[in-house]
Structure 1
Amino acid sequence: MSDTGWDFNAFQRQVIEEFRANEGRVGGPFEGSTLALITTIGARSGKRRTSPLGYLTIDGTPVVVASAMGADKHPDWYHNIRRNPVVTVEVGTETYEAVAQAPGGAERDALFAKVVEQDPGFGDYQKKTERRIPVVTLTRIDTSRADWTRGLGDFLVESHDWLRDELNGLRRQVDELIAGGDEPLQAGRPGLGHEMRRHCLEFCAALKQHHTGEDQGAFPMLAQRFPGLAPVLERLGEEHVVVARLHEELRALVDAYEPGRTDLAKLRAELESLATRLESHYRYEEQTVVSALNSVGPAPDID
């Protein structure tokens, strides 16, 4: 609460409640204006955050403006979309997902000029600050016309879940080795160490194939359809490079395994490092690209 006794967060909550209770209509200072509720994912908290914003249509494209009423700092929701540009939009009685993008340079200036033509108040906000107020376009993620029940995004999550299970299987095998479960070969049957190497080989091959498919197929397709995802796709590609290095290091350790000689604690630590990095990668990828992928095409039919 400020020194004036005005609680901005409480005011926003009141606006959100009134919006949802009245099919997108809000009175008071917003009477006659078109508002939208924009829900983002907190850049630091990872929690969903909803902000009421003025909603305009410029040349057929929905836009919102990061004015913060002329404050010298960008609003929190704007920082959120820089990390994760996939947002949920509520306008009137409609709710849809979109990819948010903040154009720069001359494109931003042309957009802002059109914004001010529609609502001169944004020009007044710009005069109050030296900050260049961003204009954010919203590209709808539309799956309403898709004639498939499982999309490419669903397939991506299923692939992640399979890789998670395989990685957990490797963890269990290494834990058994640490507990003294690696028996010597008996009657031609492979020991646990041999099974672990086979399992690791299959997992590493599947992970490499999965990331290659994303880098060469899914990601270029998304970049073309949703330019606002470019920073996300660049980050995911960089993470693929890191993950590839980690799983090659893990594979080398597993290949070199010798009962009674290999440092199993180091092997387990390397496996945990890969698992932690992969899980963070999977979560971010699932937050940012699944909905967009589902709008692009159906999941492949793989038996």
Structure 2
Amino acid sequence: MTEREIENFDVHAFNRQVIAEFRQNGGKLTGWMEGWSVCVLTTTGARTGEPRETPLGYFEIGGQPLVVASVMGGPKNPAWYHNIRKNPQVTVETGAETYDAMATIETGGRRDELFAAVAAQNEGMRDYQRKTARVLPVVTLHRIDRDQRSDQDSAGAERVRGLGDFLVEAHDWLRAELAELHRQVDEIIEGDASSPELERPKPDLAQQLRAHCTEFCAALKQHHTGEDRGAFPMLAQQFPELSPTLEKLGQEHEAVARLQDEIRRLVDEYEPGRTDPAHLKTRLESMTGELEAHFAYEERTIVAALNTLGPAPNIP
């Protein structure tokens, strides 16, 4: 295509036509695109949050699937490229299969190496790069197995739990421990309300609460420290697009830690018959709400990416 043809090109109409033919023919195209290896990449709109479908040349270099933000040598990066910078989770249709993936925008020598390999396979990509002053972005696609579990699949093969699955399991354990804290506080409140003037809740209830709170706070701190020092740096290195999300999660860790310190102080200072446990319950409910919102956001944004990094640790 000439530069004038590119300027007047109706990308949306072209994409709709290609996608329709792609799906009708099981991934095969006719005309000037006959013989091309193509995929349909579904991203999430950076501004709208709506799914956006784009047909793209699909390459595999050393077993690594990837796409190139070429726009046929146009001067600007395409919308789908900006979408994955906001949300790197995508869906890939190849005609033979459909899978979910995490998209990584490659940089530096890694990008150059991959693009050189693509250009060696595809003369069109070499031409597109010559037509534009921008460096054509190379985006690798890292498959997500949504069915990763520790049980067996229908064929009897053992499935491997991923690091993301392990994270969710840790969250569920913390949720259960937090629920037990609530139960203990409620038991103290009920005892305080029902006891005669000279009979107050037994001191051992407060001791149990104090011990359980200490264990919970230590486990939560260890969990967040492990994420800050281990999981988050790994994700930031593999998926730079997740950096804003990881920064937000780190800030939430600090907010939860401050509230956690307050809860622990209230528990330590609680004296049966002298301290009103209702204030402790109110602050515990506040922490529970913040923590659940944090867990839900974390599970929504990074679990899929974590599952691409490797299996869960084998902890008895």
Cα displacement (A) at 1:78: 1.9
Q: Would the aligned equivalents of 1:85 and 1:228 in 2 still touch at CA under 8 Å?
A: no
Give 5+ residue unaligned stretches, structure 1: none
CA 1:50 to 1:208, structure 2 compared with 1: closer, same or farther past 3 Å?
farther
Instruction: Find out whether 1:209 has 2:209 as its counterpart.
Output: no
After TM superposition, list the pairs within 5 Å mapping 1:23-34 onto structure 2. 23-34=26-37
Scaled by the length of structure 1, the TM-score of the pair is 0.70
Which residue pairs with 1:149 in the alignment? Answer: 159
Take 1:47 and 1:30, find their aligned partners in 2: how far apart are those partners? 28
Q: What is the identity, as a one-letter code, of the residue corresponding to 1:69?
A: M
The sequence identity of aligned pairs, in percent, is 42
Which residue pairs with 2:40 in the alignment? Answer: 37
2:200 to 186, 199, 206: 186
Cα displacement (A) at 1:190: 6.2
Q: Would the aligned equivalents of 1:62 and 1:137 in 2 still touch at CA under 8 Å?
A: yes
1:253 to 258, 262, 278: 262
2:311 to 284, 297, 301: 297
2:300 to 268, 283, 294: 283
2:171 to 149, 157, 160: 160
CA 1:19 to 1:126, structure 2 compared with 1: closer, same or farther past 3 Å?
same
3-state SS of 1:101 partner: strand
Take 1:13 and 1:199, find their aligned partners in 2: how far apart are those partners? 58
CA 1:107 to 1:256, structure 2 compared with 1: closer, same or farther past 3 Å?
closer
Take 1:46 and 1:288, find their aligned partners in 2: how far apart are those partners? 19
Q: Would the aligned equivalents of 2:84 and 2:241 in 1 still touch at CA under 8 Å?
A: no
3-state SS of 1:81 partner: helix
Q: What is the identity, as a one-letter code, of the residue corresponding to 2:76?
A: K
Take 2:259 and 2:300, find their aligned partners in 1: how far apart are those partners? 22
Which residue pairs with 1:229 in the alignment? Answer: 239
Cα displacement (A) at 1:110: 4.1
Take 1:268 and 1:281, find their aligned partners in 2: how far apart are those partners? 20
1:35-67 deviation digits (Å, cap 9, x = unpaired)? 012233444555544321111234554331111
3-state SS of 1:73 partner: coil
Q: Which has the larger radius of gyration?
A: 2
Q: What is the identity, as a one-letter code, of the residue corresponding to 1:27?
A: T
CA 1:32 to 1:17, structure 2 compared with 1: closer, same or farther past 3 Å?
same
3-state SS of 1:74 partner: coil
3-state SS of 1:183 partner: helix
Scaled by the length of structure 2, the TM-score of the pair is 0.67
Take 1:190 and 1:11, find their aligned partners in 2: how far apart are those partners? 73
Q: Would the aligned equivalents of 1:250 and 1:271 in 2 still touch at CA under 8 Å?
A: no
1:170-223 deviation digits (Å, cap 9, x = unpaired)? 67988x79xx868267352667x8776666444333323334455666678x67
After TM superposition, list the pairs within 5 Å mapping 1:1-303 onto structure 2. 8-43=11-46, 47-140=50-143, 148-152=158-162, 153-164=164-175, 166-167=177-178, 183=192, 186=200, 188=202, 200-214=213-227, 228-229=238-239, 232=242, 238=247, 241-257=250-266, 258-259=275-276, 262=279, 268-269=285-286, 271-290=288-307, 292=308, 296-297=310-311, 300=314, 302=316
CA 1:200 to 1:50, structure 2 compared with 1: closer, same or farther past 3 Å?
farther
Q: What is the identity, as a one-letter code, of the residue corresponding to 1:203?
A: F
3-state SS of 2:135 partner: coil
CA 1:7 to 1:188, structure 2 compared with 1: closer, same or farther past 3 Å?
same
CA 1:271 to 1:59, structure 2 compared with 1: closer, same or farther past 3 Å?
closer
Cα displacement (A) at 1:151: 0.7
Take 2:169 and 2:50, find their aligned partners in 1: how far apart are those partners? 23
Cα displacement (A) at 1:34: 1.1
Cα displacement (A) at 1:286: 1.9
Q: What is the identity, as a one-letter code, of the residue corresponding to 1:245?
A: E
Q: Would the aligned equivalents of 1:38 and 1:53 in 2 still touch at CA under 8 Å?
A: yes
